[in-house]
Structure 1
């Protein structure tokens, strides 16, 4: 079942009805119940890295296998969320669109895995709050960690996925009128001391942004804004090993540098 779904993703082919029927029959016969997670993860990783990862996940979802393999992810389908155009989008459909964007950009496995699981904390938001999802990051972290432990997901995938569940929405909210919070966010997400991890998170944010509407292939405006802020702070020395007073001085210096860099942007808007 998993290999068939993976091959569909590699061939960028839509699952035929007979394929879905075959997968459903095997699942109902209990094939997944006896398949160890250690054998499932390599197929999932292969499908995620295929040219059309959304095809694999869509086929697994349509035949019911996704709920057996990844119930945390299957729960995204049918859950509404506010979209950037102030309408609503289905979280499952949005996840598939984000993975399609990641494949177009040839993103690495850690980025694609983060896009797959970063919203799992939203699957059981109280109905009266929908389409908003309050405190979802608190629910997401233990679910992501349990999923990673179950499948033996590589540590770099786990780290980025947990980070994305908390920080993608914070990056989306970056504004040129809030210099201090932007400097603090850059420190939090590795903008100054973990550039490789920071770059991966920005890839996740970019794919998530481009999954809305007709944005596929577009540039991500907040990435450019954060690069302006990072460049403004480039000559300010790090003070992680210094005392509290020195760290606060560095924090204030970065906030002032970002405010100065953002000043033309604030006036223009």
Structure 2
């Protein structure tokens, strides 16, 4: 990483400079000091972000997301009050609890930052990092009586992700992966070797057969989300390995015939690979 950055606010639009500084901080060794945050806060308080078009913001957001420590950009923007102006959907996640796989409750905003840094360690693509940034935005206003469970967050999240992408002019591959992660990430976390039929359907739904690159990126999204939980930083993501076994098992299944016949053949191949007694009893 680079040393701590300095920036001359007189050389560019003050509002855009806030985002650029946050992106540069994400590339540096140190966290921003209080003086820098105060200076950024003054720019935000003066209303300089109001006149900056989202399309102008996107290159700076992209620079920060693709940095070695994307969480520093989010932390800096939040610390100076800019995050709620630029990405209110993300700012609203801080303080919202979630549980996962028997883990203790986590703060969704903090979890988002850890998952972004996990993606940076993997040198992940921009669509992967954007998906991690956006995929949970439907959880910010879950009914309090349901927390830390987030019922119907997919329905709330889809239009928000689409609006974020339209607002900034984000690339189509960022939008597509974020929407896929929204609908499938939690399902991937729950995938079981005892259910070969649903696994076969999932592989088709997430593009494992006809969009392998998108499938690989989704696996990275899920792995980073998994690894962002405490104690999992260096743990291999088991569900990705499971789906790779299933995908390999389907390689010999002919792509011809009816959809139903192909799905049945894939499920049988997966069941054999998983040694699934449940599937055997169901089809027997």
In which range does the TM-score fall when normalised by the shorter chain? over 0.9
Name 1:194's counterpart in structure 2. Answer: 211
Which of 157, 171, 184 does residue 154 from structure 1 map onto?
Answer: 171
Q: How does 1:48-63 map to 2 (within 5 A)?
A: 48-63=65-80
Name 2:14's counterpart in structure 1. Answer: none
Report the Cα offset of residue 20 of structure 1: 1.1
Q: TM-score, normalised by structure 1?
A: 0.94
Distance verdict in 2 for CA 1:170–1:162, change over 3 Å: same
How far does the alpha carbon of each residue in 1:79-132 deviate from its partner, in whole angstroms, 9 at most, with x for none? 000033431000000000000100111001110000000000000100000000
- How far apart, CA to CA, are the structure 2 residues paired with 1:264 and 1:71? 46
How far does the alpha carbon of each residue in 1:162-205 deviate from its partner, in whole angstroms, 9 at most, with x for none? 11011000110110111111111001001111101100100100
Report the Cα offset of residue 264 of structure 1: 7.0
Which of 67, 73, 89 does residue 90 from structure 2 map onto?
Answer: 73
Name 2:264's counterpart in structure 1. Answer: 252
Contact 1:12–1:51 (CA under 8 A) maintained in structure 2:
no
- How far apart, CA to CA, are the structure 1 residues paired with 2:144 and 2:106? 15
Q: How does 1:18-33 map to 2 (within 5 A)?
A: 18-33=35-50
- How far apart, CA to CA, are the structure 1 residues paired with 2:168 and 2:131? 15
Residue-pair matches, total: 261
Report the Cα offset of residue 238 of structure 1: 2.3
Name 2:162's counterpart in structure 1. Answer: 145
- How far apart, CA to CA, are the structure 1 residues paired with 2:124 and 2:235? 15
Structure 1: any 5+ residue segments left out of the alignment? none
Which of 127, 152, 159 does residue 144 from structure 2 map onto?
Answer: 127
More deviation in 212-221 or 251-260? 212-221
Q: How does 1:1-269 map to 2 (within 5 A)?
A: 1-239=18-256, 246-263=258-275
Distance verdict in 2 for CA 1:142–1:264, change over 3 Å: closer
How far does the alpha carbon of each residue in 1:219-253 deviate from its partner, in whole angstroms, 9 at most, with x for none? 110111001111111011224xx6xxx11011111
Contact 2:83–2:91 (CA under 8 A) maintained in structure 1:
yes
Structure 2: any 5+ residue segments left out of the alignment? 1-17, 279-284
